[in-house]
Amino acid sequence: MPTYNPPLRDMQFVMHEVLNVVDQLKQIPQHADIDVPTIDAVLEEGGKFASEVIFPLNISGDKESCSLDNGTHAVTTPKGFKEAYQQYVEAGWAALGCDPEYGGQGLPLVVNSMFYEMLNSANQAWTMYPGLTHGAYAALHAHGTDAQKQTYLHKMTSGEWTGTMCLTEPHCGTDLGLMRTKAEPQPDGTYKITGNKIFISAGEHDMSDNIIHLVLARLPDAPPGIKGVSLFIVPKYLVNQDGTLGVRNGIYCGGLEHKMGIKASATAQMVLEDAIGTMVGQPNKGMQGMFVMMNAARLGVGNQSLGLTEVAYQNALAYAKDRIQMRSLTGPKAKDKAADPIIVHPDVRKMLLTAKAYAEGGRALQAYCSVLLEKEHYHPDEKQRKDAGEMLAMLTPIVKAFLTDNGHIATNACMQVFGGHGFIKEWGMEQFVRDNRINMIYEGTNTIQSLDLLGRKILGNNGATLRKFGKLIAQLVEEEGVNEKMAEFITPIAVLGEQMTKFTTEIGFKGFQNPDEVGAAAVDYLRVAGHLVFGYFWARMAQVALREMAAGNTDSFYLAKVQTARFYFAKLFPETATLMRTARAGSKVLMDTDAVFA
């Protein structure tokens, strides 16, 4: 059976020693009183909930899955899920980062992000039920009318009601301009919505009193394509004027998907038959509200893989210390045993260090993005808001794609550490691999994220935002350029930073002549950009650790951080050279292949 220990020490290191999030958050009026002890105390309790309440349900939930009553269309979640959710609501976890105006606790988003990392480590499938609600809440908070906010946000903040996003249809996934769901205006200002949606996470379940669906649909006179899409609130139960639940709405679960992983998360086929909905925002402008939810979800999906990378690493490390197999190539290490623990073998350490490096680099990036999100919405200075939003827009596809790709690499590596036992259910490792696999697909496949990064976020503004990130690297290089102990961390990012300008210009010029060149290079390009970002944060973490050690701090935590940084730059970061070469290979070897597919 697997185990999980919340990585509180590393979270504290990232927040308080590397990013100094409290000092940054104090610039925002609603966080003027935030302090380190408050953040640490909340996350300590959150870690207990994750490890003690929902982690024990992970394997059993995967085995039991969800069940659908075809007669009533009711979905039952695995044993213990509903009760755990009640504990979550009663303890106030649902309201952690929500607006106090609607009953929220108003804590910084970085606290919520760290809490959700622990929930994802403990049980990704369970976490999807409350997790989807945050995106729906954010969309309504940003684009809902005052009446809509008063009707829905209090209950969503408390966790009494959950939320979903209903985008995908059987014939279209990311290409939402092809959707067919119709919305007919009614005399009372509502709409009757008819259509079919698939792959709706937490679309139907028994954990909350009501489910608030945010549904994309077309008005009768809507223009074709994505410019003809509107957004609607479609609750499972209609809400009376006094806030009580009314009659059952015309939206129900017509089937559950049978999936490779996250089996305890109800992935529903939703049928809408004259379902009553109210419009969010303006007609044919539905993507404005939905993008709020989609961007929140993309950051959340990166956090899912971060959580799985961490828990897989913890269990692989424990196994590698205990499992004996063969002798060390440099002679016996455990002379009192018949063989040495497998952690003495170089390749086992490589697999463990890969997972550790990707978990800790991902944690730093997630925390940084959470602070950017806070600044974008709430910083009193307009320029700070604009700059934060611009940087977050560029980093979001990297968080989604790079962290989930890394999660795939790391969970598979950790399963490999277990050898044959990793392939067996009772150890839990194969579930981490299966659960992570969807993270590379939903909320926009990683190829789509790569096209978004290169086409829109980089070439779309001629590399302006990338250059701003380059200035952060240049500042670090200037600080540490003469420090010999930092050279192995500074030199690689300085060199890659310079190479990125030429690399980006070259791909952009080729893409101007032939757009397929961008498509052919995008996935490799995002991974190079991901390493540039990770390299920056690993250099900053090494900087802090080395300073602590130089000041006489003997805590082995700092030495471990430096050793992991050293591994990352020596064994993982050099992947960028190969990726730039394959990206430059162009589209001809892909597109001039009709004979292959004839």
Query: For residue 17, what is the DSSP state?
Result: I
Instruction: Give the other-Cβ count within 10 Å of 160's Cβ.
Output: 13
Under a CB-based contact definition with an 8 Å cutoff, are residues 450 and 399 in contact?
no
What residues are paired with 231 via a beta bridge? 216, 280
Residue whose entry in the numeric block shows the structure tokens 């002379």: 335
Q: Of all helices (H) and strands (E), which one includes residue 358?
A: helix 346-378
Q: Of all helices (H) and strands (E), which one includes residue 280?
A: strand 267-280
CA distance 193 to 182: 6
CA distance 148 to 136: 12
What residues are paired with 307 via a beta bridge? none
Collect all residues with Cβ–Cβ distance below 8 Å to 162 and sequence separation of at least 6. Answer: 129, 130, 132, 133, 156, 202, 205, 207, 208, 210, 211, 212
Under a CB-based contact definition with an 8 Å cutoff, are residues 375 and 385 in contact?
yes
CA distance 561 to 541: 7
Under a CB-based contact definition with an 8 Å cutoff, are residues 146 and 73 in contact?
no
Supply the residues annotated as catalytic: 443
- Give the N- to C-terminal CA distance of the chain in Å, as an integer: 49
